[in-house]
C-alpha cells in the first residue's frame, strides 16, 4: 500500500523527534555522569544553561543514568515493532527539563548558603525573594563573618544593606539583655528607616530586637524601648547624641559598629558628631564602613576608627548607567520655572523626580507646580518626619506623580520605576550628578535625565563632565520661547597671533 505524502512527512518528523530525544537523553546522561561540572548541558535544559555552576547533586546523576538507560530500552522496543518504545523515548526526553527544574529549586539559596549565614537568616533571605548574592555581598559577607574590620565601596542599589545586615545578624545570634550590641549610623532619616526595616526583615526568625532612632519622632517612645532592651540600633547621628547626652543609651556594649554612606555623612557635615559617637563605643569592636565613594577624608577617619581593615570594592563607577539617556537644556536662570513646566507638559511618565540644590528651591518649585495643578510631593530635611514619610509613601504609591527633593533622595532610598529625572540646578558636587540621575534607568529599565543649565553654573558643569569623563550633550527644547538663543556648542577660542 502506497504511503501518502502526509504520512511520509509525519514518519520522517517522528523519526527526527525520536533521534533528537535520544541524543538529548544521551548527552544528559553523558555530561552529568562523566563530567558533572564541565558546564556542557543538555539541549533543552534552559535553566541549567543560565545557572551552570549550581551543584547538581547525586540525585540528578541518578536521573541522568536512568534517562540514558530508558532511552536505550525505548529504541530496543521500537526496533522490535513495539509502539511503546515511542512513548518511552518521548518520556525520557523531558527528564533533562525536570532535572533542570530540580536544580533551580534546590539551588535558590545555594550561593547564600555557601556564606554560612545560618538557617534563620537564610529563611528570611528566601522570604525576601533573593536568589543569589550581589557582588558586594559575595565580597563583604565572608570578611565580616571572619571578624575583620571592613571598608566596602559600592554604588547605591547594589545590596550594601544586606551585605552588612546578614552577617551581623548571624554573629549577634539572639537577644541579650542590656544595651545595644549593634549600632548602625545613617546620614538621613529615610536611609535609617530603610536599614532598620531591612534588619527587622532579616532577623524575623531570631529573637533580636531592632530600634530606629531618628529625629522628627517622639524621644519618649524611643527612650522607653531603649530601656526595655534592644540589640540593634539604627540611628541618625544627631538624635543618637541627644539620647547619649540624656543618658538614655550606653554604647559600652557595642560590638559591631556600621557606618552606612560614610561619604554622605561628610558632605552633610556630620563628621564631628560621628567622631564623637565612635569615641563612646568600646575599642574592642568590629567596625564596618560602607559607602558609594571613598574620598580622602573618609580614608583619614578609617585610619583612626578601624584596625587593619580589609578593603572590597565592587561596581564603583563615575559614569551614568548605559540605560540612562542624559542631556542638558541651556537656559537663562530666570526662565527655568517656565522651561520646567514645558518639559512636564511633554513628558508621558507616571514617576518623575525634580532635584533642587536647596530646601527653599524645593518648596518654591513644589508650590509652583501645585499652582499649575500637578500632584506633587516635597522631600527635604526641613520637613517634619510625618511630612517626609507621607511624601515618600504618596510618591511610591502613585498618589503624587512628581517628587521635588533635595539630594536627600539621591542616594540609597528604595524608589523604583522612576522614569524621568530633572535637575533644576546643576549639582555642586560631581558625585551627586551621578547619584541623582541614577534614580532612573534602574533594574535594566531605560530612563531619561535632563539638567537645566544656566551660565552661572558653568564651573559645576565642567567638574561633572571631568568626573564622568564625557561631555554631556546640549539640546534645545523645540517650541519653547527662549529669551536668548541657547548655546549648544561651546565656542572654541583661538589664540591671536601677535604682529611681529
Alpha helices per DSSP H over 271-327: 271-280, 296-305
CA distance 151 to 294: 9
Q: What pLDDT is stored for residue 19 in this prediction?
A: 62
Which strand (E) or helix (H) includes residue 260? strand 256-260
Residue 230 · residue 180 · CB < 8 Å = yes
Per-residue model confidence (pLDDT) at position 269: 77
Sequence-separated (6 or more) residues with CB below 8 Å from residue 357: 406, 424, 425, 427, 428
Q: Do residues 95 and 25 touch, judged by C-beta distance below 8 A?
A: yes
Q: In angstroms, what CA-CA distances link 497 with 148, 248, 392, 491, 494?
A: 63, 74, 59, 18, 9
* pLDDT score of 463: 92
pLDDT of residue 298: 80
C-alpha 492/C-alpha 348 separation (Å) is 37
pTM exceeds 0.95 for this model: no
How far is the CA of 48 from the CAs of 17, 40, 253, 342, 416, in angstroms? 22, 10, 47, 50, 30
Residue 446 is predicted with a pLDDT of 84
List, in sequence order, the alpha helices (H) in 313-384.
Answer: 336-346, 359-371
Give the integer Cα–Cα distance in Å for 145 and 137.
12
Predicted local distance difference test score (pLDDT) of residue 369: 93
Give the ranges where 283-414 is alpha helix by DSSP (H).
296-305, 336-346, 359-371, 385-397
d(C-alpha 77, C-alpha 88), whole Å:
9
Residue 74 pLDDT: 61
To 10 degrees, what angle do helices 95-106 and 84-93 make?
Answer: 30
Q: Residue-wise pLDDT tens for the chain (500 aa)?
A: 455 666 566 556 556 655 655 555 555 555 444 433 333 333 333 333 333 333 334 444 455 555 555 655 665 665 666 655 555 555 555 555 455 444 444 444 444 555 567 778 777 887 777 767 878 888 899 999 999 999 998 766 677 888 999 999 999 989 998 889 999 999 888 888 889 999 999 999 999 999 999 987 889 999 999 999 999 999 999 999 999 999 999 999 999 999 998 888 877 778 889 999 999 999 999 999 998 777 777 888 888 899 999 998 875 556 777 788 999 999 999 999 999 999 999 988 888 999 998 889 999 999 999 999 999 999 887 888 788 888 888 888 889 999 998 877 666 566 777 889 999 999 988 888 888 888 887 766 788 999 999 999 999 999 999 988 889 999 999 999 999 998 887 544 444 444 44
Beta bridge partners of 422: 354, 450
**Could you report the per-residue pLDDT of 72-101, keeping only the tens digit for each?**
566 566 566 665 555 555 555 555 545 544
C-beta separation of 417 from 351 below 8 A: yes
pLDDT value, residue 494: 40
Q: What is the dihedral of CA 115, 118, 123, 128, to 10 degrees?
A: -40
Amino acid at each position: 500500500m502506497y504511503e501518502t505524502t502526509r504520512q511520509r512527512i509525519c514518519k520522517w518528523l517522528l523519526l527526527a523527534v525520536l533521534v533528537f530525544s535520544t541524543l538529548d537523553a544521551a548527552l544528559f546522561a553523558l555530561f552529568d555522569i562523566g563530567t558533572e561540572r564541565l558546564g556542557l548541558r543538555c539541549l533543552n535544559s534552559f535553566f541549567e544553561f543560565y545557572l551552570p555552576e549550581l551543584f547538581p547533586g547525586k540525585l540528578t546523576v541518578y536521573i541522568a543514568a536512568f534517562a540514558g538507560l530508558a532511552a536505550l530500552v525505548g529504541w530496543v522496543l521500537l526496533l522490535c515493532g513495539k509502539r511503546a518504545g515511542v512513548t518511552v523515548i518521548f518520556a525520557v526526553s523531558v527528564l533533562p527539563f525536570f532535572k533542570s527544574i530540580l536544580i533551580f529549586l534546590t539551588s535558590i539559596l545555594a550561593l547564600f548558603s555557601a556564606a554560612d549565614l545560618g538557617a534563620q537568616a537564610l529563611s528570611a533571605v528566601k522570604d525576601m525573594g533573593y536568589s543569589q548574592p550581589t557582588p558586594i555581598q559575595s565580597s563583604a559577607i565572608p570578611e565580616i563573618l571572619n571578624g575583620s574590620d571592613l571598608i566596602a565601596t559600592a554604588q547605591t542599589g547594589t545590596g550594601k544593606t544586606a551585605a552588612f545586615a546578614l552577617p551581623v545578624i548571624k554573629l549577634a545570634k539572639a537577644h541579650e539583655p542590656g544595651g545595644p550590641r549593634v549600632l548602625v549610623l545613617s546620614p538621613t532619616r529615610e536611609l535609617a528607616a530603610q536599614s532598620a526595616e531591612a534588619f527587622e526583615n532579616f532577623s524575623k526568625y531570631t529573637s533580636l530586637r531592632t530600634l530606629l532612632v531618628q529625629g522628627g519622632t517622639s524621644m519618649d517612645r524611643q527612650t522607653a524601648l531603649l530601656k526595655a532592651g534592644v540589640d540593634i540600633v539604627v540611628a541618625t547621628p544627631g538624635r543618637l547624641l541627644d539620647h547619649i547626652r540624656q543618658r538614655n543609651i550606653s554604647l559600652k556594649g557595642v560590638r559591631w559598629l556600621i557606618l552606612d554612606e560614610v561619604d554622605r555623612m561628610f558632605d552633610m557635615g556630620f563628621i564631628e558628631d560621628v567622631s564623637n559617637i565612635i569615641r563612646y563605643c568600646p575599642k574592642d569592636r568590629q567596625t564596618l564602613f560602607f559607602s558609594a565613594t571613598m574620598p580622602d577624608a573618609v580614608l583619614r577617619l578609617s585610619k583612626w576608627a578601624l584596625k587593619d581593615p580589609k578593603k572590597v570594592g565592587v561596581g564603583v563607577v563615575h559614569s551614568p548607567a548605559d540605560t540612562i539617556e542624559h542631556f542638558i537644556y541651556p537656559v537663562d536662570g530666570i526662565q527655568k520655572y517656565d522651561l520646567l513646566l514645558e518639559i512636564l507638559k511633554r513628558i508621558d511618565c507616571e514617576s518623575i523626580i525634580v532635584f533642587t540644590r536647596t530646601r527653599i528651591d524645593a518648596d518654591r518649585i513644589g508650590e509652583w507646580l501645585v499652582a499649575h495643578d500637578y500632584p506633587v510631593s516635597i522631600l527635604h530635611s526641613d520637613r517634619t518626619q510625618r511630612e517626609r514619610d507621607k511624601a515618600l509613601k504618596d510618591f511610591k504609591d502613585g498618589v503624587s506623580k512628581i517628587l521635588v527633593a533635595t539630594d536627600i533622595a539621591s542616594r540609597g532610598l528604595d524608589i523604583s520605576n522612576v522614569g524621568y529625572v530633572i535637575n533644576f540646578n546643576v549639582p555642586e558636587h560631581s558625585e551627586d550628578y551621578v547619584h541623582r540621575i541614577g534614580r532612573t534607568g534602574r533594574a535594566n529599565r531605560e530612563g531619561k535625565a535632563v539638567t537645566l543649565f544656566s551660565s552661572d553654573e558653568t564651573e559645576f558643569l565642567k567638574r561633572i563632565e571631568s568626573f564622568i569623563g564625557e561631555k554631556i550633550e546640549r539640546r534645545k527644547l523645540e517650541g519653547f520661547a527662549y529669551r536668548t538663543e541657547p548655546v549648544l556648542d561651546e565656542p572654541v577660542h583661538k589664540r591671536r597671533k601677535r604682529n611681529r
